[in-house]
Structure 1
Amino acid sequence: MSFIDQALKEKARSLPRKSGVYLFKNSADRVIYVGKAKNLRNRVAAYFRANETDPKLVGIQHNAKALDFIVTTNETECIFLEATLIKKYRPRYNVILRDDKRYPYLKLTMQEAWPRLIMVRKVEKDGAKYFGPFEGSVVRKTIRLVKRVFPIRWCKSLPLKKRKEPCLNYHMHRCLGPCVGKVSHAEYLDLCKGIITLLSGRVDKIIDKTKTKMQTASQNKKYEKAASLRDNLRTLEKISEKQKAVLPRPKDIDVFVCDTQETGYVVLVLKVRQGKLIDKEVYRPKQYTSHELEEALRQFLLQYYSSSLDLPAEIVVQFDFEERGSLENALSKTRKVKFVIPKRGDNLHLLQLAEENLRFIARKKGLDVGSLKELQEVLKMDKLPGRIEAFDVSNLQGTNMVASMVAFEGGNPQKEHYRKFKIRTLEGPNDVGAVYEVVYRRYAKTLAKKLPLPDLILIDGGIGQLRAARSALVQAGRSDTKVISLAKKEEEIYTLESSVPLRLARDSLSLRLLQRVRDEAHRFAITYHRGKRNLFA
């Protein structure tokens, strides 16, 4: 049976033979795929071939009901427009840099008279210096670390407010006190230059300068300052230990390796700055299953660098991919960039190092997949529970009742999909009623459209909470979704298919996974509840 929309096929034949971007839409007028082409007519017509086996193309054939396109003047314009539209619409069949909003940058506001170091999620051309992207937990640690060595201001006032007395940060030696005139403007800007040097991966230069300053302070009998510089030196040396030299020359290189896994695919990035390995990043992009790993890598690279100002001189990849030269030219508008597929030498060594790191991740991932497979068998599910959502209710004697929802994909938390709920319809302690409310709100209201639907729902509680969740799912029109509950004391699993709860071995991989998901939902709910209690205390 053919799923190809014949009217759409005819429209594809009438497209111009020009470069541009095309958008497939479904029956709800939602964009499901964005692509680019040197020749729109030829490229789009290729989607309507019969006997297609690639799951992504079959999915597009089945769901595409409308087609739109934008003609561009050149291929470079085409590349950046494609990336912009993918970020805007987040289409189902494109590779999506998962949790794009979750990866923040460090911004040093050099356009301000007295610069600040802050976390932002958007890179702008405003005269500031940007570093990243980082993972959320890493960026906060980095800010604390940098400010320990370079005590620039913590206050957010713009412009800097003059004060009569310095704040606590000054007395704790965490700020030089520009607001009370304790530091000159030139000295303050010198601190900022040090931050730029440090975050650019050139920590050795900072170490040398700090040693010189410490020796000078000691010779001038400024022992308190010398002691402070000594502490900074120790911090910097710890950073330097982590930044091992992997190249004999001071080069800037990013190394990308990727591989497919049962629950998706993973990309690992090694960042080398000035010949030193300074960071490792792991991404699990959202992608509809496809055999085209090369195309997935191309889309990932385009999104990764579309908003990054930290372009290296060389980008090392495992294999060649279509339109590598076009992407290279597009990125080189900011800085000359070269893609390298190494066969020997230092770059091959870096690639092998990245692949070794990826193998370690794959081993851990293998355990996650093992627990998901075991859980699928235990619960007699038709498919792997790739996405699990869990709910927990928290209250203190019925007051400030709240609930949480957490989401796991492939055994890993997806924190950007976590949600908090304030119970609206109940007064007094009623966990069962609260479960009904939040499950209904999640799967019947706007959240049902904003977030992916789960393969498995886990409720923290017993049979009462499970039945409440089931009733809410039926009311929301989601009765086909598998739902279970996990009781804390005996760690029993309640299902709707049996009146007898399941008891798994304590060392069972599937039980450990459920416990991890349940405990995370509990932690998230407790944290939210404490915050509300403290607010009204």
Structure 2
Amino acid sequence: MAQASVTLQISTLPDSPGVYQYYDKDGKLLYVGKAKNLKKRVNSYFTKKHDNARTRMLVKRIVDIKHIVVATETDALLLENNLIKKYQPKYNVLLKDDKSYPWICIKNERFPRVFPTRRLIKDGSEYYGPYTSMKTVHTLLDLIKGLYNLRTCNYDLAEDKIRDGKYKVCLEYHLGNCAGPCEGLYSETEYNENIEAIRNIVKGNFKESLVRFKTQMKQYAEEMLYEDAQRIKDKIDVLENYQAKSTVVNPKINNVDVFSVISDESYGYVNFLQLSFGAIIRSHTLEIKKKLDESDAELLELAVVELRQRFNSQSKEVYLPFKINLEAGISFHIPKLGDKKKILDLSIRNAKYYRMERFKQAKIVDPDRHANRIMAQMKIDLRLSEEPRHIECFDNSNIQGTNPVAACVVFKDGKPSKKDYRKFHIKTVVGPDDFASMEEVVYRRYKRLKEEGQPLPQLIIIDGGKGQLSSSLKALDALELRGKIAIIGIAKRLEELFYPDDPVPLYIDKKSETLKIIQQLRNEAHRFGITFHRQLRSKEALNNTLESIPGIGEKTSIELLRKFKSTKRVGEASFEDLAKVVGASRAKKIITHFQK
């Protein structure tokens, strides 16, 4: 049973970058991993034959799978590190020590130093990163060192100490790497201007620096210093391809709870992200069943209290998509731009993926719940007075003006009901007239349903624009059914739906379940009608050959085809062979016909 549950969970994972977490039957976290494609990566654990005994043991113990969706593979790497550091899962071994990713620090001091570090100290210093590659850090620092003369010593360069001549310039000064602020040879104003330029570089604003480097590269090339030019070019390539910031981690966002909510007709989904010093340490989505059509604000208020109590959150700052009532002492922000908005968008994305996952699982495990959701959503999207549990869709087929026919397909609870499909020969219309044909078919269909006391549909869909819809309305008027059954027309562009007495079409979201059902109905009606039309054309072709022979009817034609397999072979057959099947008299007529 546990394996079946895991298989179901894997089938609904997204094909997106993120972090996955494995839990055992007791709810204990076993393993945290990162993936460029969550579904493929997790599925590989259960489809491959593992040589490692620990991995085989891990797979046997997995009962529950949770995941967090992020924007990029780099974000997944950073988030994986944060979660492993916090929870120390049993089967994670590579990242359990105190090692952390590198940052670039601009020290909080007079004449600030700029250096790499793996330790974040809350002393007012600025930290940029983290970076997943130390090569990128060194490239940035080499760039900074090449552009600006910064000190590397750890002296306390207080103004009075410099004035009293306590320090002397070192070798770095004589090598041209430092301008000598320790002896007052470098003004603090100019130094701070350079620090501001360095902030732009580590934030990803390389424009001015790249222009300067490209100029320098061309100068080296003109002087035929090709090795130096290549060295500068390598740095330019690295910087141009560098992703300056991570959406997962920002050290300026400290001890914050982030909440977002999405909902449908029956359920609400609230995602909770907990950040500690800018790093996501927890992601949890709460599913809430609506009782009295509660608003998103009501659901969010309920969930914020529940989740903060459940996870014992002490954060005094909360990010929200809109204003709600919060407990005293808690401040909230509604981010509009920047890193805070990115964090909120990430929370919304996780809520949407969770809803999609639950939606897919419900479709497999609980079809009734899936159907109820779709019906409730279609009622809202199509502006209906009741749920369209029974839908019928009509399509005309009169290809090349021959054999005019029509098809009616029936969907019940969002699924095809093929036993209720009906096909029609057009009887009263001469020539290819779609409007008149549609009127005839709709009239015949619902006249019969009324006479037989059969249930009428809640929705009729006409494959066509305003003209076909108007013709169908005439049929309903004649049967006194107008207003008792909702009816809409589909234009060639599927997203345009036409309603009676409304010249402006309704546009449906292309990604909505409602439009998918309508599209399925239209395609099924088209398929069913075309199949019927082809059958008639084939029969007509048969009639034009064998049945056109005097004295040869449908029954004889079928006997001949059953014996000889094709009309061509009938024409090539000998008199004796034909006589054995249909007798001498008919055999002579067939021979005479094909000789002509």
Query: Which band: TM-score by shorter chain?
Result: 0.3 to 0.5
Considering Cα pairs closer than 8 Å and 6+ residues apart, tell me whether 1 or 2 has the greater RCO.
1
TM-score (norm. length: structure 2): 0.29
Taking structure 1 as the reference length, what is the TM-score of the superposition?
A: 0.32
The structure that has the greater radius of gyration is 2
